[in-house]
Amino acid sequence: MAPVDFTGVFPIVITPFDADENPDLESFDRIVRFMRKLGVDGITILGVLGESNRLLDAEREALIRTAIAAAGDLPVVVGTSHAGTRATCDLSRLAEQLGAAGVMVTPAREPVPNPDKIFEYFQRVAEAIAIPIVAQDHPASTQVHMALPLLIKLVREIPQITCIKQEAVPTPPKTRALRAGLKKNRVTILTGLGALYGQYDLESGANGFMTGFAFPEVLQALVKARDAGQQERVHNIYQRFLPLIVFEQQPGVAIRKEIFRLRGLAHSNQVRHPGSAIDPETAAQLQAVLTATLPDIDITQPISI
């Protein structure tokens, strides 16, 4: 497989479960194939949306195998973060052996913050594998704050870090600061948070999105319009879908799992305990938002923006 160019749209996908909370590999296969049909630039599995912290290592392996088999030539980035460095290195090696195009890694919270230990963590992962690393900066899920000097040091001194997944709010200022600090460095910046600040992230120099928004077609249209210099179109697309983006961004994964079910991609919206499933009132609100945003549109098919 050719080296991955971390630009464009890399959707983070859910881990579907059956009613007994077992991974639903049939639905997972279908999700990956659908993303490939959309023509996204790659997919990311076993992220926060993928409930990776609730999975056994054997389940992670089965999901990696399923994704890579279904993806064909579509690059698969695997979230390999564990609380310990050794475990992260081992899972990263496994992902590489199974055919992953890259790994997404974020540090775990320690009682006493230590930037040097974070640097060593990424350095050891890089020494363990030969594929690219996406350094995820997502304090909301990790409670780890990676300051700008640390991120710049990581990129400058660890060549395998070829992308920063920038999710430290406010994202546009930090993206601009990274761009200024890295200057002409080869690293790319992909933003997440469900594209909550999508228009402004792109205006600030992001190369695209690596996030779990359940309509990657929208993100593709935003990037395409930005790259074509069509700022008014970027604004119009963002404004049209902002209510859905905001609704989806509520804490937890239940709403996005329900959308994947409504799109015909997952048999169930089951969330693994102790995560909460979507309640009837929220499901009704979601349906109203979908109807208002995409009236008379079959969302089980790729949508045209």
**Number of Cα atoms under 13 Å in the Cβ half of residue 112:** 2
Secondary structure (H, E, C), 129-169: CCCCEEEEECHHHHCCCCCHHHHHHHHHHCCCEEEEEECCC
| Residue pointed to by tokens 């990696």 | 64
Task: Give the residue ranges of DSSP H helices in the chain.
Answer: 25-38, 57-71, 85-98, 115-128, 139-142, 148-157, 171-182, 198-203, 216-227, 231-248, 254-262, 280-293
Residue 165 bears catalytic tag: yes
Choose the catalytic residue: 165, 183, 184, 257. Answer: 165
How crowded is residue 132: how many other Cβ atoms within 10 Å of its Cβ? 21
Residues near 230 by beta carbon (within 8 Å), at least 6 away in sequence: none
| Residues catalogued as catalytic | 165
